[in-house]
Amino acid sequence: MQIEYNLSEISDVAKKIIKVSSSKTLLFYGEMGAGKTTLIKEIVKQLGSLDKVSSPTFSLVNEYKGINNPIFHFDFHRIEDEDEAYDIGFEEYLESHNWCLIEWPQNVENLLPLDKHEIHISKVGELKRNLNFKK
């Protein structure tokens, strides 16, 4: 699925991603500033969380309270070794079957589950984005 959208339409995009996702593990690819965290903020909101969403750049993972279950948000941009992901219990998060939203997944490629969706985001303009959703 490919979507070109304005940032003002991000709520609809987040709803559509949730609706078509058969996996709760979503991988977000895109250059710095492409809008990965912005989209994740809206997905977390659409999943019913009232928590303030921010990028877990230094902590590697943030947990948000969902309606019934936690939502996990990972940012592996600064990770230097996959062992760092092991140290925070990354495998246990994935095995929890809760939503796992992962930025910079290419940095932990060997640890990613088979059951996942890829979301590639690129800037088309200042307020326009192109999203490619792969099952």
* pLDDT, one tens digit for every residue, the chain (135 residues): 999 999 999 999 999 999 999 999 999 999 999 999 999 999 999 999 999 998 887 789 999 999 989 999 999 999 999 999 999 999 999 999 999 999 999 999 999 999 999 999 999 988 999 999 998
Domain ranges across the chain: 6-134
The C-alpha angle 22, 24, 26, rounded to 5 degrees, equals: 100
- Nearest residue to 27 (alpha-carbon basis) of 80, 74, 89, 82: 74
Buried b (16+ CB within 10 A) or exposed e, 88-97: eebeebbeee
Looking at the domain that runs over 6-134, which CATH code has it been given? Answer: 3.40.50.300
Q: What is the pLDDT of residue 14?
A: 98
